[in-house]
Structures are given as C-alpha cells and as structure tokens.
Chain A
Amino acid sequence: MQAIKPKNDRINRRSFLRVSSVAAGGLFISLYLDLPAIAHETTQEPPPKVYPPDAFVHVRSDGKILITVNRLEFGQGVQTSLPMILADEMDADWSQVVSELAQAAEVYKDPVFGFQMVGGSGSIAHSFTQYRELGAKTRAMLIAAAAERWKVSPDQCRTENSVVYGPAGKSTRYAELAERAARQPVPGKVSLKSPSEFRLIGKKVPRLDSVAKCDGSQKFGLDLDLPGMKIAVVAHPLVFGGRVKSFDDKEARRLDGVKDIFEIPLVNGSGVAVVADRFWTAKQARDLLKIDWDLSGLERVDTSELWTKYKELARTPGNVAVARGDDKAMSRIPVARRIVAEYEFPYLAHTPMEPLNATVRFEGSKAEAWVPSQFQTMDQMTVAQVLGLKPDQVTFHTEFAGGGFGRRAVIDSHVPREAATIAKRLRGTPVKLVWTREDDVRGGYYRPMHAHRVEIGIGADGLPGAWRHVIVGQSILAGTPFAVMMIKNGVDQTTVEGVSDTNYNIPNFHLSAHNPTVNVPVLWWRSVGNTHTAFVMETVIDELATRARMDPIAYRRKLLKPEAKKLLAALDLLDQQSGWRNSLLKGHAAGISCHECFGTAVACAVDVSIENNRPKIHRATVAVNCGLAVNPLTIESQFQGGIGFGVTQLMAGGAITFKDGRVQQRNFDGYTPPYIVDAPVTVDVHIVSSTEAPTGCGEPPVPVISPAVVNALARLTGKRYRSLPLASV
C-alpha cells in the first residue's frame, strides 16, 4: 500500500480534497464515521460524495487520524481538547492526530444548544460525552474489523496507540483496518473508560496549532486568498440606523483598482460598499466617498444624558426578577446600618485582534462562504437567505478566528450578511469583506451600558439582612429568537445573571431590572451579564466584610449557601494557595473575589499596588472548580488570559461613549484594551481536583479580576470604586 502523504500534516479541508482526488486511483483508503450512519470511501467504488460533511473521524492509510472539531477555534483550544477526548476513548496514537474545523452541517450542531456554535463556555462541557462516544464507537468498529479478520471474538482484542492486539500475538495498525472497519455497524451503545484509564484526558497536552501560529503559516479568515478575489469595505452610517440619501463616488472611482461602488441595505439602515482589487485601494476609495446621510428620526445617543436617565431609572423598581423573603425587612434595619451603592458600567467593545471579515462567492444555484464564525448555523442561513438559496446550497467553511469573545456570535449575522449582499451583485467573484478596526470600534454590538443601585440593610451579625437591587441596561436578547426562553417577566436573564442566581445566602432579597431601548446594538461580551453583576456583588460583599472587620475569604465562606459546594471548594483552595497575602510588600494590598458562572466556580486573590495612578497587578492567584479538568494546560491558559481580558473593564480607555449619536472612539488609541503592562505580571492557576462533569472555562475567569483589583485598591486608598472605567485611582 502506497501512502499519500501531504506536505503539511496540518492539512485543512481544501488541501484534503486535493489529496483525495489525487488518490482516486486506488491508493487511498479511509474511514469516515458519522452519526448515525457510516459513509465510506474505497478505491474500488468511488463514494457518492467526495467528502461526507458529517464525518468526525478519518483514519487515513498513512496512519494519520484526522479528527473534525464541531466548533470554531478562536483561542480557547478546542482544536486540541476535543480531539484529545475522542483520541483517548479511541486509543489513538496522539502523535498521529491531526484536527480540522468542521464546515457548517447539521451533524456538527452543539448537542445542548441545538445549532452549530461556540458560546456559553460550552465547547467541552457540551461535547465531552459526544466526543468520548465517538471515540469509543470508532474503537469498537476497529476492534470488530480486527476480530472479523482474525475470526476471533472482539472480547479477545484490546487496543493501544492505534493498534489492535488479538490473541496469539496478533496485532494490526488502525490504518490497515480502516476499510473493513468502515463496513461494521455503528454500535448503539458503548462503554466508556473509567477516569483511571484515561491516557490523554487530564494531562497537560500542548496545543496542536502552536507551531503554525508561531511561524506565520496559520491561516485566519482574513488571510484567505482565492483566485480572482476582490476586497470589499463598507461605509457605515455614523449614527446607527442611518440611511444613504445620496453619495458622490467620482473621486473614489478614479482610483486604479476600484471595481464597483454601490449602496447596500444593512440590518438597520444602509451603507455604501466599495469593491476593489486590493484592501488599500478599497479603503482609500471609501475615504474619498462623499455621502449624504439621512439621520432623521434616529435617536442620537449621548452617554452623559443616558447616565442621567439610567440612574433615575435605577431609583425606581423595575420588572421583578427575584423577590424572596420579607419585603419589609429593610424598613426594620436602622438607617445607620444601611448602605446604598450606585454603579456605572460603560459600553464595551470586544475588539478581537483579527478584525471582522467574511468571504462569499455566489454562483447562482450555489454559494460558498468562509467565515471565522462562532454561529455557523445562523451565518449560513443568513448567507443563504440573502442569496435566495437554501442553507445546504451554501458550503460554509469555518475559518480560524483571531479571537472573538462573543463578537463573532451575532444573531443577525450582520457581517456575513454584508458580504453576501455584495457577493450577490458580483456573481461568480469571491468577495472578502473586511471590517477595518475603525468599523469594529464604531460598529456597535457592545456589552451594554449598565447602572446598578443596591441598598443593603446589614444585620446585627454583620451579614446582609435585606437586599434591594435594581439593574438598568439594554436587553441583549429582546427581539431575537432567544427572547422566548431568556426573557422572563420582562427581564432579560442575561441582564441579571450573577445576581439573580447568587450563591450568597441573603434572606430578604429583591432584584428588579429595567431594559430600556436605546439606539445602540448590543451583544454578549465574554461572560455576558457577569461582567457587571459579579463586579457589584463582589465589591459590595467585600465592603460588608470590611465593615464587619472580617477576613474577606472568611466572610464569603460564612455568607455562602452550604449547597454552593463548588465555590466553597474553590475558596478553600484559594485560601491554601495564597499564603503570600500574609507577606505583602509595603504599598501593596490583597484583593479577593469569587464567582460562579457557566457551571464553574472561581476564586481569585490579587496583589496590587498603585503605580502612576494606575493599579499595578503584581500577581493573581486563581482557584478553579470546573469539574474534570480535560486539559489542565488549556485551562491554565484560559484562566491566565481570561483574567487579563477582564482587566479591559479597568482600563482608563475601557469605554465606548457617544456624543450626538456618534461613537467618540475610533481605534485602539481611544478605546484601549490592556497591554502587557496593564495585565497581571503572574497568574497562578490552581484546579480543584474533581471527577464531576467538565464545565466551562472560557468565560468564568473574566468576572473575578476587576472586583478583586478594586477591592485591593480600596484597602490602599480607603475609597470604593463604583464607576467604570477606572479613570484614576
């Protein structure tokens, strides 16, 4: 058997297709496994489809095992972790495993959410069992093939490192069994390994994409290059919802390489698309457009006016999210033992490092799209709808993404929508739509601005005896298909999560929310509502601990419900691992916070001093309780990074603001996320040992860092920090 070895082991689907066709002469034997049926490809009888889109595992004749990942890889490490899970149950030789990102297809939908996506920190949590079963079933089929060949019972066979061993010293490599295995029935039920049998799960396995991301060879969506491809940029209205009245493109069209300029409808309003041979030409041409915008009837948002309105709203109860205990309890607590705290949280942009982009080629009866997408199902449907096609007529490639943090999970799919709208006019020509950084910073879909007002009556024991909490902020889900499920009693659950489900035992508790409508598109931002709710809860609780003259960890332990076992275990581990809190340098202080979201409990301690009127975070110690730790190395990275991402909230330039309906920032010079000097110098991550089902790790690190830092600052300055961004200390 002559193996066809591609030049690069990290083959992507496109190069694989080429390998397949080269191999069609009788040299390539493979196994595809899908659920529930098997498709197979042999040399004698060419398969009906070149590549079954619903395959997860492909055992190649050269011994390589290609595992398909049903999600976007955008830093979180699933391109390594999901194959680890499958390979472990399959007993595959890890050194031979290659993984790739799946196209959009029914079979790749998230088993919990029911569509293909990354979100809710669910990649491992939702696909752990799915990938284990896929691995176990593949293994069972390989064993069945070997048993059939050797005429022995499958019970007499065992597997290790891509080899099936039979009685009397028999052994065969998986690659040699692939064809026969493909003809075996897919087992209905398989037994899974016990944790003691894991070889990969639970180990610190390095990422599969490291080398390509260090030598420049990794291709991201923006790097896509297709024959004849054109680049498009769009001039968007400076006030959301603005429409093009007229435009003058005479100067723009004079530029060499400009192909077309035309008005396109947007989700809200309209814009002007510029198509050119090159990005720089397209951008320059856009700069030369003279557009007369119709902004009539549009709300012109002004941030300072909005604050006034929000704070007023916060002083009146909104729609009730939680009402527990005695509503009159507050009135029985003396005023001297009450705290009123008002908080401000600005709009925040996600600004993933790779600017937003989508490439579409429309060919009349079919189309192809290449998108770094967190929401493949929605994006594919949108492209199809714009082009007048059915979703399965759009081949949708998931491109590697340079970050996302929620920004590539947009329910209205506005970026692929623009790309498809432009591609429709340029039939046959692939069009890559590029959102410049300015488009991204000014383009909306922000973490909503919020005001909180909390009134707490403190009991004689120093614990909160009554709690009234009002949250004001736009609904993320109103008007979307998620509204049915996620808006209850007029309250968007993402507005109140983190307070409504608090693990603190607060007897008389009233939580309500206002979800005003504002002319600013909003979206989930890594950890969603917890970005602001955890900040309020963890700073207020810290204040109460200080008033009660209690250690902040001891106070939290005392106040947590006994059933909050995950969080209590995380706090215990944090306490053990943060002995440094007792030997701080002069001018330093420790800050504590803890929070549970997406099923994962996190406790955090930071060592902070003040340098140049800014918090300097010398160290963060994090204790994580995320159930079974599938890849502790990935978890460590996610927590180090998530902690750093959370610092965005504290940056002096960490706010999107409006004047006369226009965004006042334009790029990283005005909206400034954390650089290395702003992030913690070290982050040590400790994982609570657990065999429970794995829970999310992408979002849970984010909420804890900013309250921990300002809690430390409060110890240094005696001030409480309730307005973000942190303009000065």
Chain B
Amino acid sequence: MLANRRLLSPLFGLMFIVGMACLVLSTRAGSKRDSANPKLADGLAAWEQVYSVLVSPRCINCHTATNYPQQGDDRHRHFANVIRGREGRGVPALSCIGCHQEVNAESTGVPGGPDWHLAPLSMRWQDTNNRPLSSAAVCRSVTDRAKNENMDGRALLTHHQEAALVLWAWNPGRRLDGSMRTPPPLAHEQFVTATRTWVEAGTPCPRAK
C-alpha cells in the first residue's frame, strides 16, 4: 500500500519545495524559531496530534522494531509465534493473511483489511524494547524519503486520507468478546486535518530532546 504511493504528483511540486524548505528549517533550526513563524508553530502543534494517532495501539502495533507484531491496547506480543517474515507479511504457513482477511471478521473478533501486513522496519515507531519512539524520532522517520518509500508531504497526506490499513484504524471492528476495539485518539477527519496543517507547514519536526 505504501508502495502504491511512490509516484510523486507533478502538480504538487511547489508545495513539495516549500515543505522541504520548512523541513530543513525545522530540523536544522529547531523550535526556537516557532514563535517567529506562526505557520511552523501550527505545523508542529498539528504534528503532535498526528503523532498521538501514530503511536496509538491501532497504528503502532504493526510499526514494531522487533520481528513480531503486537496486539491489544496493552500492545502485547502477537500470540502463536506470529513473526514479521521477509516482507512484513509473515512466513509461509504463518502469514498475516492466513488469519486477517480483507475485512474485519466480526463474529470471530479477527481484524482485517486489504493486504494486512507489518510496516517495514524502516518505518518502526518503537525501539526494540517496544517503547514508542519520541515525537521527533517518529517525525524524522515519517518524513525521511529514504525510509518512507519516497513519500513527500502530499503523498503522506494522501496516505493518511486514503490508505486502506490507515482507514482500518477508525474501523477496527469488534474484539472476541464483542466489545469495540479502541480507535485512535482523534477522529479520522481531525487526523487528516492535522496532517494537512502539518504538511502545509512543510512537515516540520520537533527538535530531538
């Protein structure tokens, strides 16, 4: 799914250049210029909102740094020795899609979406001890086109707006006991708005502490 977004939109070149410039400003110059640049300040604030979604269990459980996905709001290791495999899709006989169908299986409590898989290790948002990375670190990784499958700001926005597995987080289905899975802390619409603000501000990243 990430791979589908590799093509840059030529119509978005200007935004891209502005975005990159801001990115350079934010990462090089850091937050001391925030107050001097209201757009940057808004962008950074928006990023924190985006970040709160990315590190919520519905997203981060499949952005691990280990060789396995997590599950549940307590983000425990996925049961039954499920592992990442070469392409994040498990291994033969124990693949993600061997359980996770294209949609949620409500009667059996198994979540599903198209091409269910783990994010690549380059997009890990946790350390190897399963602690979420800092806002700055996640932001750097999300905006690093060498790691993010070459997505620019616009592509990131589209990804957050449309990607099926991203959308799944707001339709996570029922647990085995019939209760609803916890969605991310923002509504999808708010998430997209925050992403747009952040992208328009040039995808600024907070300075690493």
Binding site for B on A (CB under 8 A): 284, 287, 668-669, 672, 675, 677
Residue on B nearest A672 in the bound complex, by CB: B79
Q: How far is the CA of A623 from the CA of B178 in the complex (A)?
A: 51
Structural contact, B79 and A287, CB atoms closer than 8 A: no
Contact B81 A287 (CB under 8 A): no
Residue in A287, A669, A672, A677 whose Cβ sees the most chain B Cβ within 10 Å: A669
Contact assessment for A669 and B81 in the assembled complex, using a CB-CB cutoff below 8 Å? no
Q: Pick 5 A–B contacts, CB within 8 A, sort by A.
A: A287-B178, A668-B80, A669-B80, A675-B80, A677-B81
- CB-CB contacts of B66-81 with A at 8 A, as 1s and 0s? 0000000000000111
Hey, which chain A residues are within 8 Å of B178, CB to CB?
287
Q: Is the CB of B81 within 8 A of A675?
A: yes
B residues whose Cβ falls under 8 Å from a Cβ of A:
79-81, 107, 178
Q: How far is the CA of A677 from the CA of B79 in the complex (A)?
A: 13
Which residues on the A side are within 8 Å of B79 (C-beta)? 668-669, 672
A669 CA to B76 CA, complexed, in Å: 11
Give the chain B neighbours of A677 by CB distance below 8 A.
Answer: 81
Q: In the bound complex, how far is the Cα of B78 from the Cα of A668, in angstroms?
A: 12
Q: A251 → chain B, closest Cβ, in Å?
A: 12
Top 8 nearest A-B pairs (CB, nearest first) are A669-B79, A675-B81, A677-B81, A287-B178, A668-B79, A668-B80, A672-B79, A675-B80
Complex Cα gap A668–B79 (Å): 8
Bound together, the chains give a CA A180 to CA B38 distance in angstroms of 108
**Residues of chain A with a CB closer than 8 A to B80's CB:** 668-669, 675
B64 to chain A, nearest CB (A): 14
Shortest A555–chain B CB gap in Å is 37
Q: Which single residue of chain A is at the shortest CB-CB distance from B107? A: A284
- Taking the nearest CB of chain A, how far is it from the CB of B21, in angstroms? 45
State A455–B81 Cα separation when bound (angstroms).
40
Contacts of B81 on A, CB cut-off 8 Å? Answer: 675, 677
A334 CB, min distance to chain B CBs, angstroms: 45
Alpha-carbon distance between A7 and B178 when the two chains are bound, in angstroms: 47
The binding surface of chain B is classed by DSSP as loop
A256 to chain B, nearest CB (A): 14
Say how far A434's CB is from chain B's closest CB, in angstroms.
17
Which residues of B are found within 8 Å of A672, using beta-carbon distances? 79
| A668 to B81 CA separation, bound complex (whole angstroms) | 12
Question: How far, in whole Å, are A700 and B80 apart by their CA atoms in the complex?
Answer: 28
CA distance A287 to B107 in the complex (A): 11
Closest residue on chain B to residue A670 by CB atoms: B79
Known pairs A287-B178, A668-B79, A668-B80; list 7 more (Cβ under 8 Å).
A284-B107, A669-B79, A669-B80, A672-B79, A675-B80, A675-B81, A677-B81
Q: How far is the CA of A541 from the CA of B22 in the complex (A)?
A: 69
Closest to B177 in A: A287
In the complex the two chains form, what is the Cα distance from A675 to B80 in whole Å?
8
A284 and B81 alpha carbons, distance in the complex (Å): 28
Taken together as a complex, chains A and B put the C-alpha atoms of A287 and B177 apart, in Å, by: 9
Residue of A nearest to B72 (CB): A669
A538 vs B181: C-alpha distance when bound (angstroms): 47
| Chain B hits for A287, CB < 8 A | 178
CA distance A95 to B79 in the complex (A): 44
A658–B178 Cα distance when bound, in Å, is 23
**Distance of A288 from chain B, by nearest CB (Å):** 10
* Smallest beta-carbon distance A286→chain B, Å: 13
Contacting residues, chain A, for B107 (C-beta < 8 A): 284
CA distance A710 to B178 in the complex (A): 41
With A and B bound together, what is the CA distance between A677 and B80 in angstroms?
A: 11
| Complex CA–CA separation, A669 to B80 (angstroms) | 7
Q: Which residue of B lies closest to A669 (CB)?
A: B79
> What is the minimal beta-carbon distance from B174 to any residue of chain A, in angstroms?
12
Nearest A-chain residue to B79, judged by Cβ: A669
Give CA–CA (A675, B83) in the complex, Å.
14
Q: Contacts of A669 on B, CB cut-off 8 Å?
A: 79-80
Q: How far is the CA of A677 from the CA of B94 in the complex (A)?
A: 14
B57 to chain A, nearest CB (A): 16
Chain B contacts of A284 at CB under 8 A?
A: 107
B72 CB, nearest partner CB in chain A, Å:
10
In whole angstroms, how far apart are the Cα atoms of A333 and B178 in the complex?
Answer: 62
Least Cβ–Cβ distance between B102 and chain A, in angstroms: 22
A351 to B178, CA, bound (A): 25
* Cα(A145)–Cα(B81), bound, Å: 62
Q: How far is the CB of B20 from chain A (nearest CB, A)?
A: 41
Q: Which residue of A has the minimal Cβ distance to B67? A: A612
State A677–B178 Cα separation when bound (angstroms): 32
Q: State A668–B176 Cα separation when bound (angstroms).
A: 14
The distance from the CB of A349 to the nearest CB of chain B, in whole angstroms, is 16
The CA-CA distance from A638 to B166 in the complex, in Å, is: 49
Cβ of A283 to closest chain B Cβ, rounded Å: 10
In the bound complex, residues from chain B placing their C-beta under 8 Å from that of A675 are 80-81
Nearest Cβ on chain B to A285's Cβ, whole angstroms: 13
| Nearest CB of chain A from residue B79's CB, rounded to whole Å | 4
Q: How far is the CB of A138 from chain B (nearest CB, A)?
A: 47
Report the Cα distance A485→B99, complex, angstroms: 51
In the complex, the chain A residue whose C-beta lies closest to that of B71 is: A669
- Measured CB to CB, the closest approach of chain B to A291, in angstroms, equals 15
How far is A477 from B178 in the complex, measured between Cα atoms in Å?
Answer: 40
In whole Å, how far is A279's beta carbon from the nearest beta carbon of chain B?
13
Q: How far is the CA of A339 from the CA of B151 in the complex (A)?
A: 64
Instruction: Tell me the bound Cα distance from A567 to B121 in angstroms.
Output: 52
Shortest beta-carbon distance from B140 to chain A in Å: 28
CB distance from A235 to the nearest CB of B (A): 15
A550 nearest CB across to chain B (Å):
39
Which residue of the partner chain B has the closest CB to A676?
B81
Closest chain-A Cβ to B84's Cβ sits at a distance in Å of: 14
Interchain CA distance A592-B79 in the complex, whole Å: 31
Looking across the interface, which residue of chain A has its beta carbon closest to that of B83? A677
Q: Which residue of B lies closest to A288 (CB)?
A: B178
Q: How many angstroms from the CA of A677 to the CA of B81 in the assembled complex?
A: 9
Q: Tell me the bound Cα distance from A234 to B178 in angstroms.
A: 19
| Identity of the chain B residue whose Cβ is nearest the Cβ of A284 in the assembled complex | B107
Shortest C-beta distance, B130 to chain A (Å), equals 13
Most buried by A among B81, B107, B178: B81
Cα distance, A675 to B178, chains bound together (Å): 28
Min Cβ gap A467→B in Å is 41
Q: How far is the CA of A668 from the CA of B80 in the complex (A)?
A: 8
